[in-house]
Amino acid sequence: MNSEEHIIAPVESAAADEDIIIVRDLNKWFGQFHVLKSLNLNVKKGERIVICGPSGSGKSTFIRCINHLEAHQRGEIIVDGVVLNEDLKNIEAIRREVGMVFQHFNLFPHLSVLENCLLAPIWVRKTPRKEAIEIAMEYLERVKIPEQAHKYPGQLSGGQQQRVAIARSLCMKPKIMLFDEPTSALDPEMIKEVLDVMIELAGSGMTMLCVTHEMGFAKTVADRVIFMDGGECVEEGPPQSFFNNPQQPRTREFLDQILQH
């Protein structure tokens, strides 16, 4: 999907000096299959990172390791000062601070939009219901669908559902947001409404890790673009040099393919 038309003025970087995510020598296997091969990544607070790469390169697996939806076998992941290991308390502590948006939205179909947004603040953060409703309405307004609060996910369009999913994550007031191809299950006319919300979020100083093939979005908001292939980090750099002057032949080949149409 070519999204040159989505480009607006680059969003000012909000990156601070602290590292909020530290990944060292991350290795993961699915059975015998080596999916992630010695990945290293330091993310500063407020930094916005776009991860791209061909299908099956391990992008989803990588960001799912960061909130431990996937367990890794070797290496170290430290998120917001907490070391990720098998300790359930650590995992839950990290998940409270890390929001995630999925390709297929994964809204809870048995709950209304508002209840979707209330579930975690009430049951995890122990927020009083009234306050939780205020927070939820505030975020539903930010994603521009406060009027749908009492509808059910099945009654919304794909783009609206994905915006609710973003609001649902934001209601936990996370420090980091992970996006796994948030627009690739959407019809073209709905992609922009979701990207607009993400651009707005980037402008608010959120730390973001985003798997996407929306190169226009990458150019607008990314501080760094990472190219993965075969479970390795092949190349990384700021968007200007990454897009205009890629160093690795594999990166060039991938960019040619994705930008040609």
Partner 1 sequence: MNSDPSLPPKSSVKPWNDPRVRSAVFQILAILAVAWVGYSLFQNTLTNMASRGISTGFGFLDSSAGFGIVMSLIEYNESMSYGRTFFVGLANTLLVSGLGIIFATIVGFIVGVLRLSNNWLIARLALAYIEIFRNIPLLLQIFFWYFAVLGTLPSPRQSVSIGEVAFLNLRGIVLPKPIFEAGSGAVGIVLIIAIIISLAIARWAKRRQAATGQFFPVLPVSAALILGAPIIAYFALGSPIGWDVPALSGFNFRGGITVIPELGALLLALTLYTASFIAEIVRSGIISVSRGQTEAAAALGLPPRRVLRLVIVPQALRVIIPPLTSQYLNLTKNSSLATAIGYPDLVNVFMGTTLNQTGQAVEIVAITMAVYLTISLSISMLMNIYNRAVALKER
List interacting residues with ligand ATP (CB under 6 A).
30, 33, 35, 53, 55-61
**Are 228 and 243 contacting, i.e. CB atoms less than 8 angstroms apart?**
no
Closest residue to ligand ATP in the complex (CB): 60
Residue 9: name its binding partner from ligand ATP, Mg ion, partner 1, none (Cβ under 5 to 8 Å by kind).
none
Closest residue to Mg ion in the complex (CB): 60
Closest approach of Cβ 59 to ligand ATP, in Å? Answer: 4
Closest approach of Cβ 205 to partner 1, in Å? Answer: 21
- Of 74 and 129, nearer to partner 1 (C-beta) is 129
By the criterion CB under 8 A, which residues form the site for partner 1? Answer: 67, 69, 88, 92, 95-96, 98-100, 102, 104, 106-110, 119-120, 122-132, 152, 154-155, 165, 168-169, 172
Closest approach of Cβ 64 to partner 1, in Å? Answer: 8
- Of 169 and 212, nearer to partner 1 (C-beta) is 169
Cross-strand bridge partners of residue 176: 98, 207
- The values of phi and psi at residue 115, to 5°, are -65, -35
- Of 22 and 91, nearer to partner 1 (C-beta) is 91
- Of 48 and 59, nearer to ligand ATP (C-beta) is 59
- Of 130 and 261, nearer to partner 1 (C-beta) is 130
Nearest CA among 140, 157, 153 for reference residue 197:
140
Closest approach of Cβ 182 to Mg ion, in Å? Answer: 11
By the criterion CB under 5 A, which residues form the site for Mg ion? Answer: 60
Residue 24: name its binding partner from ligand ATP, Mg ion, partner 1, none (Cβ under 5 to 8 Å by kind).
none
Residue 102: name its binding partner from partner 1, Mg ion, ligand ATP, none (Cβ under 5 to 8 Å by kind).
partner 1
**Are 48 and 23 contacting, i.e. CB atoms less than 8 angstroms apart?**
no
Closest approach of Cβ 30 to ligand ATP, in Å? Answer: 3
Q: DSSP letters along the chain, please?
A: ---GGG--SPPPP---SSEEEEEEEEEEEETTEEEEEEEEEEEETT-EEEEE-STTSSHHHHHHHHTTSS--SEEEEEETTEE-SS-HHHHHHHHHHEEEE-TT----TTS-HHHHHHHHHHHTS---HHHHHHHHHHHHHHTT-GGGTTS-GGGS-HHHHHHHHHHHHHTT--SEEEEESTTTTS-HHHHHHHHHHHHHHHHTT-EEEEE---HHHHHHH-SEEEEEETTEEEEEE-HHHHHHS--SHHHHHHHHHHH--
Residue 61: name its binding partner from Mg ion, ligand ATP, partner 1, none (Cβ under 5 to 8 Å by kind).
ligand ATP
- Of 46 and 53, nearer to ligand ATP (C-beta) is 53
